[in-house]
Structure 1
């Protein structure tokens, strides 16, 4: 019946979401979808608030999936009416033969209006039967270039250092440099920096004029250790540079031209020295061991006092407190206190997975969603048949973040 038709239509929309987000002109569609009763004016206004054309197209497709069996034929009709015939044909080609969809309907269907107030009676669902997230806005991410991306890749350490060679980190660095260039960032790579040099580079980044850009990314590839009494746990380059201080360089107080703009930090380093052996699950949930003899950790091979680290700073720019954490996201390769695994030949689990997720999903999904995909994927890996790893994030973003990305072009197999 109608439910099967709606499910089939939604499946077609989902399979073609990349093409729709890339090519759809949503502004041409609003009048038709409104006059056909698929959307209310409030819903159209909320879609318009989703940012640039790509963001509006993405939200429009998501909302169509909630509007029942009449939404798909109305969409096809609107596409033809606005001259977007190729998209209409693309969607119709994806129509299941055994579940024909209804022909375009010209009669305005009865549509329940959205409630004026978000409140609802305790224990009772809203009149629409769903929770709307349209009011969550997206960050402006259409600057060209989008912003700066600083990658600090510490591979070699002094012979007297207790830190071993960070073998495999160059592979991570090359992947992320290539990936963020493809996402339209200005990428600067710095290698083998000592504590003072790391802070100098971060200070220089904070002093740049970011007013013409929309975002800033910092990637740390290093050994690390645990620091627990800061708002952002952990430290890189051994215990020398707490993550708390790294984020402070770009916060709203220290970098005025990045106020209100997303500041993203990726930390590929150990969060401590513990090794996670995981917990037993049923055989159908287990995943084969992917680790090899080349697996290493990024842990600092000695204990340290977190109390003595929390106030370390030789830079006036690095504040000991965080005046505002808004618009900051820190993505960690591993849970605080635990090691982060890295294959000496293929690079780290976290970076390899992050790179793959950005390649496959950046054109359609927001950053937080992609990071959850990374979390899930890495959580299923196993090192030496025993050890596990769990990435995670400290998220203080206020809006959805969509990178500038074109859909992945996969090779055609003849």
Structure 2
């Protein structure tokens, strides 16, 4: 793009992001050859309307000398004339674009309590009971003291996700083992062990499990798109497991990216966006869980010295391998987005949990015979504790146990999670079959 045109776009970026209607421009930009369909798809799943506008403007700067005039033409064709004139003038608008009016909040109005003297106490208490009625006593018998020690008691429906559908939901596992020669990535020996463990584990937790092996980056996106278009209305949860090489990318929500067997990577943020409340309506308000066994970067953590009482030494194998690639500089890297639009619903990334096998920027270790540290311990903790603990507690246990391992007697690994769940999550188990009451 001509430097002058790029300067105009950047100078007016704030007003463009506020006022642009990107969804109306996609067809025109595609027909004029400015963007490919893959690029349009990436913009669509980048987040809110503002996120899409920001991504579109960023990518537009890289699309050659025709991009700016074609963009102006598309603005006129979609009747976004004020923005077209703004760019042609190269000046800020005389009046800023108006923000949407605030939502009216309606609150119930309670009648004032009547004033009374001490002599009217009985009548006063009746008035209070009329305005603030007491809850009706429960007809459900109280659990016996013995059951209280063996069964988790649900305090109220707000605190725990509903997880009693049968099946509970879909689980997609993408297992990339053999990489193409031009990808410059080693084969991931031992990943099949991870895949078999997690396939059996999530079947035991009453999920419909689908395994896909050795997918290219476009095939990864296709499978996620197919999953997002399913009707999840009869299910309570959805799980995605990614087993592959990984890399570090710029991001504005979730770090990291996962490589296809052909080399290019799919950012974790894009992976989560397929199932968020905006792009998968039938999963709105339901937990979406992502488990990422891949490196978050190329750094190797040698840890720090602590008292012997702090840890129980656990050694990894001498042949442990990593799933690392250097930080990506591809167009898949995500820039910092603008302020999100005001919403009267749940936030777009709500009810999402992303569990990473390692801290962003660092390698993740895998034994060629036993599989990865993270999956081995995650599978065991789910087996031992899914009937007792909620997911967040179990992942804390996983973090602690993985942190005890050492690769080649030196290197460490620290898993972690980006947790945007709003409630506690208890999996179904074969012995119980449903979430606690």
Does TM-score exceed 0.5, indicating one fold?
yes
Structure-2-length-normalised TM-score: 0.60
**Counterparts of 2:354 and 2:411, CA distance in 1:** 24
Aligned: 1:203 with 2:273: no
* Equivalent position to 1:75, from 145, 156, 161: 145
Q: Which of 158, 163, 170 is 2:180 aligned to?
A: 158
TM-fit CA distance, 1:310: 1.9
Q: Find out whether 1:384 has 2:412 as its counterpart.
A: no
Structure number, greater radius of gyration: 2
1:293 to partner: Cα distance: 2.1
Distance 1:187 1:347 in 2: 20
Map 1:340-355 → 2, pairs under 5 A: 340-355=364-379
Alignment match, 1:109:
none
CA distance in 2, matches of 1:252, 1:146: 18
* 1:284 aligned residue: 309
Partner of 2:275 in structure 1? Answer: 250
- Give the direction of change, closer, same or farther, for the CA distance of 1:308–1:258 in structure 2 (3 Å limit): closer
Distance between the aligned counterparts of 2:402 and 2:197, measured in 1? 17
In structure 2, relative to structure 1, the CA distance for the partners of 1:306 and 1:229 (3 Å cut) is farther
Residue 395 and residue 306 in structure 1: after superposition, are their counterparts in 2 closer, same or farther (change >3 A)?
Answer: farther
- Give the secondary-structure state (helix, strand or coil) at the position aligned to 1:329: strand
Corresponding residue SS for 1:375:
helix
User: Please, what is the CA RMSD of the aligned residues?
Assistant: 3.0
Distance in 1 of aligned mates of 2:285 and 2:170: 16
Change (3 A) 1:308 1:219: closer
**Separation of aligned partners in 1, 2:158 and 2:170:** 25
Stretches of structure 2 that go unaligned for 5 or more consecutive residues are 1-133, 336-345, 433-437
Say if 1:278 and 1:407 are closer, same or farther in 2 by CA, change over 3 A. farther
Map residues 313-324 of structure 1 onto 2, 5 A cutoff. Answer: 324=348
Q: Displacement of 1:407 after TM fit? A: 5.1
2:210 match: secondary structure: strand
- Look up the match of 1:334: 358
For 1:398, the equivalent position in structure 2 comes to 422
Deviations 1:245-295 (A, max 9, x none): 000000011001001100000000000000000000012224334211220
Q: Distance in 2 between matches of 1:323 and 1:309?
A: 23
> Which residue of 240, 250, 253 corresponds with 1:228?
250
Equivalent of residue 362 in structure 1, options 378, 381, 386 = 386
Contact 2:251 2:333 in 1 (8 A): no
Aligned to 1:325: 349
CA distance in 1, matches of 2:312, 2:264: 34
How far did 1:230 drift? Answer: 2.7
What secondary structure, in the 3-state scheme, does the structure 1 residue paired with 2:183 have? coil
1: CA distance, partners of 2:327 / 2:282: 39
Q: 1:326, 1:351 → 2: CA distance?
A: 25
Residue 136 of structure 1 deviates from its aligned partner by: 5.2
Q: State whether residues 151 and 188 of structure 1, in contact with CA within 8 Å, keep that contact through their aligned partners in structure 2.
A: yes
Match of 1:297 in 2: 322
Q: Which one of 252, 267, 289 corresponds to residue 264 of structure 1? A: 289
Kept after mapping to 1: 8 A contact 2:267/2:332? no
Any gaps of 5 or more consecutive residues in structure 1?
Answer: 1-40, 49-55, 61-73, 80-86, 92-131, 312-321, 409-414
Q: CA deviation at 1:306?
A: 6.5
Matched residue SS, 1:385 = coil
Q: CA, structure 1 residues 377+387, in 2 after alignment: closer, same or farther (shift >3 Å)?
A: same
Q: Which residue of 2 aligns with 1:317?
A: none
8 Å Cα contact 2:266/2:332 also seen in 1? no
Q: State the number of aligned residues.
A: 284
State the 1:323 CA deviation.
Answer: 6.3
Aligned partner of 2:191 in structure 1 is: 169
Give the structure-1-normalised TM-score.
0.63
Distance 1:304 1:232 in 2: 15
Task: Measure the CA separation in 1 of the matches of 2:392 and 2:311.
Answer: 25
8 A Cα contact 1:289 1:385, kept in partner: no
| Contact 1:294/1:345, CA 8 A, preserved across alignment | no
Matched residue SS, 1:309: coil
1:372 is matched with which residue?
Answer: 396
**Aligned partners of 1:281 and 1:391: how far apart in 2?**
19
Task: Write the distance in 2 (CA, Å) between the matches of 1:308 and 1:240.
Answer: 8
Q: Check the 8 A contact 1:271/1:340 in 2, yes or no.
A: yes
- The answer to whether the 8 A contact 2:323-2:364 is kept is yes
Deviations 1:20-40 (A, max 9, x none): xxxxxxxxxxxxxxxxxxxxx
Q: Would you say the 8 A contact 1:168–1:345 is kept in 2?
A: yes
Q: Structure 1 residues 282 and 393, CA, compared in 2 at 3 Å: closer, same or farther? A: same
Query: Aligned with 2:227: secondary structure?
Result: helix
